[in-house]
Amino acid sequence: MNAIQTYWISGNSVPAGGWINRRFEYISWSLSFFLLKRNFAQVHLYGNTPGVLTLSEELGLKYDKVFTCLDTTEEQISDLWTMAKIYVYSLQETPFVHVDGDVFWFNFPPKDFLSSEVVAQCLEIGDPFYHDVLKTIRENHGSLPAYWDKINLNSVFAINMGILGGHHVQLFKKFYDEALNFYHENLKLFRKHSSGSLKYLYIFIEQFFFSVLARENNASIKLLKKTAFKNDFSEVLNFNKVLPSTGEPDFLHLLGSYKYRLNYCNKMEFWLKKLWPAQLQKIDACFNAEITGGAFLRLNPENEKRLPFSKWIYNSPEEVFSDLNQRSSALYNQLGDEDSAEFQKYRDCLDFESKRKQVLEVLLDEKEDAVFQHFESHNRFCSKPFEEIRDLTVELNESKLVKSRNNWFNNLEYKSKNYWYHLIVDTKKTCFQEFLFSEPDCKILDLMSHPITINDLKYMAEEKTDPRVNLHEILKSLFGEGVIKVSPQTHLM
């Protein structure tokens, strides 16, 4: 079976493919390609001429075959970019699996998986998006295939297509024909509601349409991962789940807004550095001028509604240093006397801003090699079962942690003693993000006022927080973010 990928560049393309910047976009494509070449005999690329030249010439990704078939489909895909992928599916005459450029397939699947009529990543259930789109089309008397009449609005589900393919190549040809016809017959309706409930129609046509078509044709479908309920894709986003047999993750898909999360991007970069260091050097050489010039697409959470809500977003370290006291300045005019609650809150904010500056300076001073060495230790930590780490000692890494008694990130109220924050920069020190840890994370950090064994911490966590808390997973995450230290380090060598 061949692996195939699709990449094109046009005037309507999403800048940097939805990543924070083009450097991370190209790291993603390089890692995705490398892993496919490691696992599949043939890897083919479909795109338009600019897209093919970018990946095969500029980045030097040596696909076994390249096709510029999308040169003639610009008008067709300009309004609905997923039609490019659907068209490429339809061109296949032999069994295939299409893999998106944000998918990292480390572990080759069993042979029986790839022998099915249809293979895909997972089901999606409980996402109101698909329900709302179908409801809008029905209420506006849109044209739908006859077999859609039996779809129950209360039991709508879709198929996530991080990967998609199989042996039933005729089904994919039918998919393209019906999807294209569906789009053209409802074009006026789609354009009328393009900024409302049909804004993400391209996802609906690719993932929901195919799920209905496959069921109607009684296609046998094998899914690689468990069902994602209500947009919970944690299984394919977990860099902390490392297979002991390989020392690597199994399968990752940085879909949607996770391309905007700098901590995920940094871990993606670690894996390219580890597996194909020469390619990372090549990418950095290509973008050195842009890095120094700051010509990057930055984090823009207002355009990505699924990012965690934040009142305070900065794009670069320079922006933070230029306005260190933005939060406290907003409180200054509301101050009462020194014993007032307002004044105490103001003092807490000043302490937060001061510590935040110190942590950022530490992060900016950290060498690139030290960052990658830390991720290497984190990877080994993640590969060990709980029984092997329970006697290790953990403690706070004070140089990289910020805490406060009040929440200076968003409007959430936690039951933890403190609010704890994660500050993140990339290895080139050009991008910056900060996030508030989750409430369970904050409660665990509260318990670490002094060095403590993981076993003792487990008992405290069960007694004082929630007996159901998965301490092992929380520690993997906190250690990965560099906010706790584990000793002795020799155990992680």
Q: Is 373 helix (H, G, I), strand (E, B) or coil?
A: helix
**Residue 103: beta bridge partners?**
253
**103: region left, alpha or beta (phi > 0 left; psi from -120 to 50 alpha):** beta
Find the distance separating the first CA and the last CA of the chain, reported in whole Å. 38
For 101, the token pair is 């450029």
Q: Which two tokens stand for residue 196?
A: 């409302």
Question: Which pLDDT value is given to residue 322?
Answer: 82
pLDDT at 309: 40
Helix orientation angle between 471-480 and 368-382, rounded to the nearest 10 degrees: 170
What pLDDT does 456 receive? Answer: 95
Token output for 472: 């092992």
Whether 59 contacts 281, CB under 8 Å: no
* Cα 3 from Cα 492, distance rounded (Å): 36
Residue pair 85/6 in contact by the 8 Å Cβ criterion: yes
The predicted structure's pLDDT at residue 310: 44
Global pTM value:
0.92
Residues in the chain: 493
Q: What is the pLDDT of residues 130-177, one digit of tens each?
A: 999 999 999 999 999 999 988 888 888 999 999 999 999 999 999 999
Quote the pLDDT of residue 250. 96
Separation CA 322–CA 234 (nearest Å): 36
Low-confidence ranges of the chain (pLDDT < 70): 11-15, 289-315, 336, 490-493
